[in-house]
Amino acid sequence: MTEAEARDPEELPAEIREEVPTWDDEYFDRVSGRLMFSYDLERDYRVRGESFDLYGEFRVRTQKQFFHPALSYADHDRAEYLFARRVARPSVDDLESLVELGHGLADDWIVPSEEHFGTEFTFVVVADELTESVREFVEGFRERELLAYGYYGHYEINLVVVAPDTETVIASTEADTAEAFALWGDVERPSESFLSRFAKQFWT
């Protein structure tokens, strides 16, 4: 997503725009302008003793129908929870603690059921400085857990580290939301969108 391709917030109804918070931090304020079309957003969010400048929640339910909406079957729920905060010089230990937080939230928030298809926990760290060890950790990161051997779906933990001053974004394999944080242009890696990957599970 480039600046030229960014959507105009005026496309949304006024009552939805009014629910979107504003940030004193210009960077997060601009990022929220991209996320607001798909995510319910909050600022200054706290969970399990951790604080985040920006929090976003996205949910979708798909279902197949037999002639009439009342005769639906194969309902599937999917969600993404997005957490972003500033850390001047993040370390691998900082990222590992976020991964542990993701596992803890999965235990707290996911209700195992046949309808649960997948949940993503995406953690974004906005940094002043990006070290090589952090780059290597994030680029090689993939954390996916099956629930009841996949019978109750799965969850995934994603990591993103962005350094706006150097226009750098490092993202783990499935962290498609990273594109919203690259205000200067696209993230340089091939990636399908969150929704397109989801849709392929059912319509291809």
Residue 68 pLDDT: 46
Q: Which residue has the tokens 């009841």?
A: 148
Q: Contacts from 45-50 at CB under 8 Å and sequence distance 24+?
A: 45/83, 47/83, 47/101, 47/105, 48/101, 48/104, 48/105, 48/108, 50/83, 50/101
Q: 43: which strand partners?
A: 54
Residue 18 pLDDT: 60
Domain regions of the chain by residue span: 3-203
Q: What is the value of pTM for the model shown? A: 0.81
Give the model confidence (pLDDT) of 163-204 as tens digits.
999 999 999 999 999 999 999 876 554 344 444 444 444 333
H-run or E-run covering 98: helix 92-109
Task: Give the pLDDT means over successive 10-residue stretches in the chain (204 positions).
Answer: 48 58 93 90 96 94 50 67 97 98 97 91 97 96 94 96 96 93 71 45 36
